[in-house]
Amino acid sequence: MKKIVLTGGGTGGHIFPLLAVAEELQKNGGVELFYIGPNHPLNAEFAKRGIKILPIASSKFRRYFDWENFTDIFKFFWSILQSIAHIFYLQPSLVFSKGGPGALPVVLAAKCFFIPVVIHDSDAVPGFTNRISAVFAEKIFLAFAAAAKYFPKNKTEVVGNPIRSELVEKATNPQHSNILKNVGMSILILGGSQGATRINSFISTNLKELLKFGKVIHQTGENNSGAIINYSATKNYRPVAFLNAAELGQALSETALVISRSGAAAIFEIAAFGKPSILIPIEESASNHQKANAYEYAATGAAIVVEENNLNWPTMKTEIEKIMKDKKRARTMCVAAKNFAKPDAASTIAEKLLQILQKE
């Protein structure tokens, strides 16, 4: 049985797409999967799927001064040695990398043993790790067409961003095909897998006004739930630290509008369900990729972008009203979102990985 190593990490934006591809590979059978990467709470999801985890040290390249940059240099070289040991032990036939902290050492280790590497980048502006990894990659998959200019044309393909099978099944279920059935009923707030402090603060300040538009479901993040604890007893407001795939699918299927950060995972999940959205890119994202993601997606007509320096209630109220009180516009945004979505991204990548394996 041939072995495939999955690598990537740092956030749910790296790990969830890996899980989505892993699920599709397991459906096809005939391969054994392993995950090599830094420790992360979401790594448990690999174990649940029978994927063995081989941990390595975590290091991060920061584009600003931080004393941890000096210690992380040593961690980085140590993680390369760990990765070489793991790759030597496993002798995989292929490495699939999502980028992020921890992925580059595994890619470098794979090339030491002449093992093919395939990478995927989720953002409109590719990350540092993937830009380097692309030099060694046999194939490069992208979520956004805008990122293609950073990579060689002959080995680059735009496939979308993999989303988990539970979400795909929910999004494509005919029961939820009436994309306007809940307009005027509920708003879903997403801050990414870790939550968003500034969005939480904005919601806690303006919740009374927001609730005038309908029910609110709010993913706060594990470390940020305290920001809205005073509102937990409000009948039409449901704060939750984290939404698993089943809960997120249910929330997306029932909501009329999504207010979200603009990580690629969130954008493609929202698009799969054909929901209008207001995107609030985080200002500190690497290479300002969230801003690039937001405007690339908004250019399709599926979303409105509100930057953090404009995050105030008069502005948000105006943008919410444009969607919640104008069914024609809401329908147009729904259609644009569905047209942008690529719910088959995970199965497409899995199929192409298996094709590469057959050539080995």
Q: Which residues are annotated as a binding site?
A: 11-13, 164, 193, 290
Calpha distance 127→133 (Å, rounded)? 10
Q: What are phi and psi of 219, to 5 degrees?
A: -80, 115
Calpha distance 337→267 (Å, rounded)? 9
Cα 268 to Cα 13, 137, 207, 208: the distances in Å are 11, 24, 26, 29
Calpha distance 161→297 (Å, rounded)? 13
Nearest residue to 311 via CA among 164, 192, 205: 205
Identity of the residue numbered 323? I
Residue 304, Cβ density class (10 Å: 0-12 exposed, 13-18 middle, ≥19 buried): buried
Residue 166, Cβ density class (10 Å: 0-12 exposed, 13-18 middle, ≥19 buried): middle
Identity of the residue numbered 216? V
**Residues of each annotated binding site for UDP-N-acetyl-alpha-D-glucosamine:** 11-13, 164, 193, 290
What is the full DSSP assignment across 59-125?
A: ----SS--THHHHHHHHHHHHHHHHHHHHHHH--SEEEE--STTHHHHHHHHHHTT--EEEEE-SSS
Give the length of the chain. Answer: 360
Cα 172 to Cα 156, 169, 264, 341: the distances in Å are 28, 5, 20, 11
In the chain, the DSSP E strands lie at: 2-7, 31-37, 52-55, 94-97, 117-121, 139-142, 156-158, 186-190, 215-219, 237-240, 257-260, 277-279, 303-305
